[in-house]
Structure 1
Amino acid sequence: MPLRRKITLHAALWLLLFGILIFDHVIDEAGRTPFRLALVLEISFLGRLVLFAYFNYGLLRWGLKPGRYPWLVLSLLGSLLAAVAVRYLVEERFLGLWGMNNYFSDTTFWHYVGDNVSYYSLPPFLMAFLFKAIDEFVFREQIQREKLTTELLFLKSQVNPHFLFNTLNNIYALTLAKSDAAPGAVLKLAELMRYMLYEASGETVELAGEVRYLQSFVELQRMRYHGETFVDFEVHGQLNGQRIAPLLLIPFVENAFKHGDVQNPASPLRIRVAVHQHDLSVEVENRKKGGNKDELGGVGLGNVRRRLALLYPQRHSLDVQDGRDHYRSELNLMLE
């Protein structure tokens, strides 16, 4: 937690507690204890509470480690006794010089100690444990965020080598066939790699750029086929600044080219991108080659689902229909 935020949180807790103490006096003590005396006593109590709360907090941070537990227990007991002694010196000796004693003169030693241990000395321990618990919670949340960030980077990094490996294989096949499309394929690959390296390196990219990337990918894939290919790529709606996680859609299109039959005019590969304000729908449907099982390979459907779960929790739906002859995926997202 940033230091400034931590100081603000602690200050707010102390102000809240002080307000509760004053309110308690107004409700329960009005008429029995003069307000001036009550105010001095509450300020004195809060000062001691702050002092011993942070002292105990420091003890907890130091002592909650293997091998230090016995010393921690002894230190906390010593802090408890010190809190009682400090209160006695402040309220019964120092403030007593002005006739502002908080206890009657006939109060016994054991009653004083018992009352302070049970009521006035435990709050510093509770506040110390509260601060420690807040630290632990924030630390775990930070570790979890860092873990998720690392996992997202890993999942995203799997896309690039997989894509590059497949594309180089396709270009290699073109060169073996001495195809005139090979030089154009290299240039198209360079264009795609430039996008992946420089534009897709952030957390989000413009949806318009991601759609152009998909269209360029489709053009590159079509170059490797002999004969005509049949791809219907439709874009509906206005692409005007919506943002999306980079390289999130490419596995669906890549999968369609890898496993689908794109040279059948009766059953073309269909890619449909529809945008309505910040709602995105992407549908990819293809006929399978020879009716083989069609699933996201390489990066895997699990990769895509995990990225969606991390990036768009409660803001996405993914429907996959794996039929005998056809494969269809539909992704719906709520964009930023």
Structure 2
Amino acid sequence: MASIETTLHPPRHIQLLRNESFGRMRQLLANRVASHVLFWIVLFGLTALYVSSIEDEWQGPLYNFVLRMPFVVACCYANLYFLLPKFYYPDRLALYGILLLLLILATNAINLFVLEAFADTPLCPQTYEAVSTFTWNNYVYKAFYLVSIVGLTSGIKLSKDYLLEKQKYDAIEKEKLKTELSLLKSQIHPHFFFNTLNNLYALTMKKSDKAPDMLLKLSDLMSYSLYESESSVTSLSKEIEHLRSYIDLESLRFGNKLAITFNVKGPVENKAIPPLIFLPFIENSFKHVATKQGDLFINIDVVVATDTISLQVKNPFVAGRERDRKKGGLGLKNVQRRLALLYGDVYHLEMKPEENLFCVNLQIPLA
């Protein structure tokens, strides 16, 4: 019976991903090697040009380049990829300094022994014989040069690592900020819809003719909250329309018992604003008047300027009824946190009682 050999291959899309990953790694490695090679060529090229301009000949600098470069490079990479990763920590800096000093001194000594060994050969130019011998002056001069190159490469490495860490930290903070903002918006949605559904329930219990209109308004508000609020900003005209729908929705519940004014001053076209940033303040005013008796009113003014937009909300306030205000504080706390995350200190929010009124004044920059 003939045997059949089968070879298992990964799915094509997995194989393509692997090939793409390997290709990126090879490209990254090639770029890294090329940048390092270019760095050393430029560094020793400038050194050679400087020395040759002083001594007016090129054989010495070339000889120095060939016999010095391997030791300088080896010392630098031993520091960059062994000493720095293992010992460059606050509690091990002293040990790192000692080990780096020993590395430099040993590398410099070995290099001078090699230079001296080639001093009597035809490879060594006559002008370079004097600096090839193992003397104190030559040792100190070459050690100083080695220290300067090690310091330069260490500075580049540490600066690069710092920038990479900062980029990672900024990316993490940005993601955390995005997550927190999304969470705050998601916390606002249930709070708002909980109140609205209560209103709808009350109307349906009374078999009010207003219930279908209210349900349609609620559907529009849910659509806006689910889709528009996913982005970081929305058009100001849409946000204003959303506020009008909410106010109309609440007006159905209060009827003639509540006088509402909603004024928008200034151009709203081609302006952007974070979605649902005003709603908690307006919602809070409706919550307050729901517990009051007598003449009820809410005044809402939105003023659009060139670079800023302001919201002012006024509603009746009775001193000593702090419990009513604390009951629904989640929405206001969330929006205050959102304002701090979005604008830092570049916004103004004032919430305070004035005589028998509770006033909210908010000013934010326009996107």
Range class of TM-score, shorter chain: 0.7 to 0.9
| 8 Å CA contact 1:230, 1:263 repeated in 2 | no
Please give the alpha-carbon distance, in whole angstroms, between the structure 2 residues aligned to 1:267 and 1:102: 102
Runs of 5+ consecutive residues of structure 1 not aligned to the other structure: none
Report the AA paired with residue 54 of structure 2.
R
Does residue 105 of the first structure (1) align with residue 127 of the second (2)? no
Does residue 327 of the first structure (1) align with residue 358 of the second (2)? yes
Pairing 1:245-260 to 2, within 5 Å after superposition: 245-260=274-289
Pairing 1:1-336 to 2, within 5 Å after superposition: 32-34=54-56, 56-59=79-82, 63=86, 80=104, 84=108, 97=123, 99=125, 101=128, 104-108=131-135, 110-111=139-140, 114-260=143-289, 268-288=297-317, 292-293=321-322, 295=325, 297-323=328-354, 325-336=356-367
* Higher CA-based Rg: 2
Number of matched pairs = 324
Please give the alpha-carbon distance, in whole angstroms, between the structure 1 residues aligned to 2:273 and 2:131: 71
Shift of residue 232, structure 1, vs aligned partner: 0.5
Shift of residue 248, structure 1, vs aligned partner: 0.8
Please give the alpha-carbon distance, in whole angstroms, between the structure 2 residues aligned to 1:212 and 1:92: 86
| 8 Å CA contact 1:52, 1:124 repeated in 2 | no
Please give the alpha-carbon distance, in whole angstroms, between the structure 2 residues aligned to 1:316 and 1:135: 32
Shift of residue 181, structure 1, vs aligned partner: 1.2
Report the AA paired with residue 195 of structure 1.
Y
Aligned partner of residue 223 in structure 1, secondary structure: helix
- Identical columns (%): 31
| 8 Å CA contact 1:61, 1:132 repeated in 2 | no
The change in CA–CA distance for 1:161 and 1:64 in structure 2 (over 3 A counts) is farther
Shift of residue 131, structure 1, vs aligned partner: 2.2
Aligned partner of residue 246 in structure 1, secondary structure: coil
Shift of residue 105, structure 1, vs aligned partner: 3.5
Aligned partner of residue 219 in structure 1, secondary structure: helix
Please give the alpha-carbon distance, in whole angstroms, between the structure 2 residues aligned to 1:182 and 1:38: 96
| 8 Å CA contact 1:268, 1:287 repeated in 2 | yes
Aligned partner of residue 282 in structure 2, secondary structure: helix
Report the AA paired with residue 328 of structure 1.
C
The change in CA–CA distance for 1:48 and 1:276 in structure 2 (over 3 A counts) is farther
Report the AA paired with residue 341 of structure 2.
L
| 8 Å CA contact 1:280, 1:332 repeated in 2 | yes
When structure 1 is superposed on structure 2, of 266-275 and 94-103 the one drifting more is 94-103
Please give the alpha-carbon distance, in whole angstroms, between the structure 1 residues aligned to 2:335 and 2:295: 30
Shift of residue 215, structure 1, vs aligned partner: 0.6
The change in CA–CA distance for 1:124 and 1:177 in structure 2 (over 3 A counts) is same
Deviation string for 1:286-332 (max 9, x for gaps)?
A: 11268623647343433222211211234311122234621111111
Report the AA paired with residue 318 of structure 1.
L
| 8 Å CA contact 1:230, 1:264 repeated in 2 | no
The change in CA–CA distance for 1:145 and 1:263 in structure 2 (over 3 A counts) is same
Shift of residue 106, structure 1, vs aligned partner: 3.9
Report the AA paired with residue 174 of structure 1.
L
Deviation string for 1:119-153 (max 9, x for gaps)?
A: 33333333322222222222222222222112111
The change in CA–CA distance for 1:91 and 1:229 in structure 2 (over 3 A counts) is farther
The change in CA–CA distance for 1:249 and 1:128 in structure 2 (over 3 A counts) is same
When structure 1 is superposed on structure 2, of 226-235 and 215-224 the one drifting more is 226-235
| 8 Å CA contact 1:282, 1:331 repeated in 2 | yes
Shift of residue 61, structure 1, vs aligned partner: 8.3
Higher helix share: 2
Please give the alpha-carbon distance, in whole angstroms, between the structure 1 residues aligned to 2:87 and 2:107: 21
Please give the alpha-carbon distance, in whole angstroms, between the structure 1 residues aligned to 2:291 and 2:305: 29
Please give the alpha-carbon distance, in whole angstroms, between the structure 1 residues aligned to 2:273 and 2:129: 65
What TM-score do the two structures reach when normalised by structure 2?
0.69
What TM-score do the two structures reach when normalised by structure 1?
0.75
The change in CA–CA distance for 1:155 and 1:75 in structure 2 (over 3 A counts) is farther
Aligned partner of residue 132 in structure 2, secondary structure: coil
Aligned partner of residue 254 in structure 1, secondary structure: helix
Aligned partner of residue 180 in structure 2, secondary structure: helix
